Structure 1
Amino acid sequence: MHKFLLLGGDSRQLYLSRILSENGFFNVLHSGGDDPDFSLKEAMENCDIILCPIPFTRDKISLSSEHVISNLGIGDLLSHLTSNHILFGGSIPSYVKEYARKNEIGCFDYMDMEDVTIKNTIATAEGAIAEAIRLSPGCLHQSKCLITGFGRCARTLALKLKGLDLTITIAGRKANQLALASSMGFQTVLLCDLEKEIGRYDFIFNTIPALVIPEELVSLAARTATIIDIASAPGGVDFEACRQQGIRAKLCLGLPGIYAPETSAKILYEAILTCLSETV
């Protein structure tokens, strides 16, 4: 039977460890504090499945963790990986994937798994809505909302917000995405035309990982607007311009791990078992 080593991460790793235990799998969790008795080398020698966090790293030096852990450098991890290991993680850097390929190490990126990303859009959308409610002094009900982008997360978010009786406009560059948004009952606008429209929205949700709401657009937005950015870091909003204009704005990363860690862990567990069954 497989033995699992969980390294770094947030509370998703904790729940994933519990789920593994409940299903009879041996696992070691190292996600917080510098335990002087912990040896990465020994732990990896005793486990064949290495479960790294989402995201894999934030600083490109060590595995990401919500707690300070000084002994989880990526270099150390790679030096102990062998062809007997299978590596999992989210947003795994290309050089780590290449190292795994060259050394015949199984490597699976959660972000490359369609089922994981689609299921996680639900927690991301619910978390984004929760952040908007927390940040704004007003109600979502009957507010005017702009969502930039219409990918997987944006579509789920739009449908959730539609159920809360917001008037929703989708902004994008691609005609096919805007056509789909229109067919689903949403208003649409081209990103290049936002300067004419952005001032009328109470809530703005960005899902595009590029600077699509720069200083020029921020200056045209309503001072009472609330901006929630759920794109990958550094997001797509000029937050310094928002601060200078007095507009409430927040980059919200890792929402599934914050708002639905147990559900997210179940999604990862199912994906891991599926991948392992396919490697046999």
Structure 2
Amino acid sequence: MLTDMHIAIIGGDARQLEVIRKLVELDSRISLIGFDQLDHGFTGASKERMDEIDFSDIDAMILPVSGTNSEGEVETIFSNETVILTKEIISETPEHCIVFSGISNDYLNQIVSGSNRKLIQLFERDDVAIYNSIPTVEGTIMMVIQHTDITIHDSKVVVLGLGRVGMSVARSFSALGAHVKVGARKSEHIARITEMGLTPFHLAELEHHVKDIDVCINTIPHLVVNASIISKMPAHTLIVDLASKPGGTDFRYAEKRGIKALLAPGLPGIVAPKTAGQIIANVLSQLLRELVQQREEKK
């Protein structure tokens, strides 16, 4: 149980509702910031404004999956209020306070480290990323069905990257009958692609493998699908970019060429927010329980 633990949940989308529900069940005291337009009420959770919180009493701070933007603004789907997280706010928290976020950026890294607090990026954890790849794959399949006029079966698909998402995407499209090629750089990834029964290639040879494809799915958060690569693709090719913003595709050039390119980060929160929220909630509750246990052992 998390009795007497005071947690600030700042902003977020429908996934955060599952986090709130789980933490309420564990008897924690929750301050909700950026939820003033949320109709649902949770016993043990109070809606508050940023300037109403006594941050010196906060044991943990939970941000949305997206963390903050480069100016410190936090996404607030359930509020029209602009919520900004600053170094001063984090510095008001107790030294043991931990900041949780899905991903991070230079701004968030700097204000947390500058306050001598600990930041945990949930999406850097293998368990979260692997579980999260399930709704990501389902959302990708949905998008490909919606935006093409062919079946996935017998289509030619290129997947870029064999990380935790890339592996799940490649395996699933192959299971649906697509002819899947996977581009990677590491020799161990090339070996794994071969072991999976798929066609591997080195990313340096990408332009030679897109000349007859129907779908290109990118998971690499760097500019991989550039203008030179896009110029080699058939006009009917669909690009689905699953990498975090701004993605790894030259969207301007794709539009110029008339190739449909979709940036689709955060698919789990769109296609399956309840499941995606439960994944985050389960891992968060486990980490918070460990934190409580560590404190008890120090006493």
Question: Deviation string for 1:234-274 (max 9, x for gaps)?
Answer: 11111111111111110101111111211122221221122
Shift of 1:71: 4.1
Matched, 1:14 2:26: no
Matched, 1:195 2:207: yes
Shift of 1:108: 1.9
SS of aligned partner of 1:10: coil
CA RMSD between the two structures: 2.4
**Residue 52 of structure 2 is aligned with which of 42, 61, 68?**
42
Matched, 1:151 2:154: no
Work out whether residues 225 and 248 of structure 1, in 8 Å CA contact, stay in contact via their aligned partners in 2. yes
Instruction: Give the aligned partner of residue 42 of structure 2.
Output: none
The 5 A counterparts of 1:158-173 are 158-173=170-185
Work out whether residues 34 and 70 of structure 1, in 8 Å CA contact, stay in contact via their aligned partners in 2. no
Work out whether residues 15 and 276 of structure 2, in 8 Å CA contact, stay in contact via their aligned partners in 1. yes
Mapped partners of 2:154, 2:54: distance in 1: 54
Q: Which moved more, 1:166-175 or 1:79-88?
A: 79-88
Mapped partners of 2:92, 2:37: distance in 1: 19
Structure 2 unaligned residues grouped into runs of 5+: 39-46, 295-299
Question: TM-score w.r.t. structure 2 length?
Answer: 0.84
Shift of 1:205: 0.1
Work out whether residues 10 and 31 of structure 1, in 8 Å CA contact, stay in contact via their aligned partners in 2. no
Instruction: Give the aligned partner of residue 206 of structure 1.
Output: 218
Paired AA for residue 189 in structure 1: F
Instruction: Give the aligned partner of residue 137 of structure 2.
Output: 125
Instruction: Give the aligned partner of residue 95 of structure 2.
Output: 83
Question: Deviation string for 1:26-65 (max 9, x for gaps)?
Answer: 3233334689x94324334464322111110134321233
Mapped partners of 1:109, 1:128: distance in 2: 24
SS of aligned partner of 1:262: helix
Question: TM-score w.r.t. structure 1 length?
Answer: 0.89
Q: Which moved more, 1:18-27 or 1:109-118?
A: 18-27
**Residue 218 of structure 1 is aligned with which of 196, 220, 230?**
230
Mapped partners of 1:48, 1:137: distance in 2: 52
Instruction: Give the aligned partner of residue 57 of structure 1.
Output: 68
Mapped partners of 1:14, 1:186: distance in 2: 39
Matched, 1:241 2:244: no
Shift of 1:6: 1.3
1:251/1:95 Cα in 2 relative to 1: closer, same or farther (>3 Å)? closer
Work out whether residues 226 and 247 of structure 1, in 8 Å CA contact, stay in contact via their aligned partners in 2. yes
Instruction: Give the aligned partner of residue 297 of structure 2.
Output: none
**Residue 269 of structure 1 is aligned with which of 275, 281, 290?**
281
Mapped partners of 1:253, 1:151: distance in 2: 15
Work out whether residues 83 and 106 of structure 1, in 8 Å CA contact, stay in contact via their aligned partners in 2. no
Structure 1 unaligned residues grouped into runs of 5+: none
SS of aligned partner of 2:74: coil
SS of aligned partner of 2:181: strand
Shift of 1:152: 1.0
**Residue 72 of structure 1 is aligned with which of 78, 83, 102?**
83
Shift of 1:95: 5.4
